[in-house]
Amino acid sequence: MESGKFEDMRRSMVDSQLRTSGVTESWVLAAMGSIAREDYVPVSHQTTAYMDRSLELENGQMLNPPVSTALLLQAAEVRADDNVLLVGQADGYVAAILKTRTPHLTTAAADNLDAASSNAPYTCIILDGAAEELPDALFKLAADGARLVTGIVEGAVTRLAKGYVHSGKVALKPIADSEIAPFVAFARKPEFVF
């Protein structure tokens, strides 16, 4: 497909999906309007890269819908001087967006948070996926008062949520119902019942 067609789709995504869903943060709109989302998906999905739905990546992980990504980043209120931890795709689309906002970005996979400990504490933690439970290891990486945004799994519904980390704990407040792929590593552990 010609690059001009992708630019048209990107512009349409910003105007008809993001702006109409309450995304007003100028840096998020600018970054998502300029970064080629099609470069972060398999070739077979490039023509659908800008549709408002999740896309499966070659490594079995998911790229969340554009609206979910934009609302999550807007809720994070990322500042240029924030020390940000992104849990999810290390070299993916969301990392590329965040790099337009702050040079202080560390990425980690959900099943390997130890890799992020050398740059802790973080003032902003963004989980690019949904969790049933957040591990204590995540809170140990947070500065007191750090902003934390994530998807949460509640039954069959996923929601975007935000909270502030204090004394190793966070109370999350739902922001919006939105499709966001769950992290297998943050699934609730089965309880043993007699």
Which segments of 32-83 are extended strands (E)? 55-56, 62-63
pLDDT band at residue 193 using 50, 70 and 90 as cut-offs:
low
Q: Domain containing 145 — which CATH number?
A: 3.40.50.150
Token representation of residue 9? 């789709």
pTM equals 0.93
Residue ranges making up the domain that contains 163: 3-186
Assess if residue 192 is contained within a domain. Answer: no
Question: What is the domain count for the chain?
Answer: 1
Q: Which two tokens stand for residue 40?
A: 């972060």
Classify residue 191: in a domain, yes or no: no
pLDDT in tens, 42-89: 999 999 999 999 998 888 888 999 999 999 999 999 999 999 999 987
Residue 165 lies in a domain: yes
Residue 39 within a domain: yes
Tokens 């802790």 locate to 120
Q: Decide if 57 is inside a domain.
A: yes
In-domain check, residue 194: no
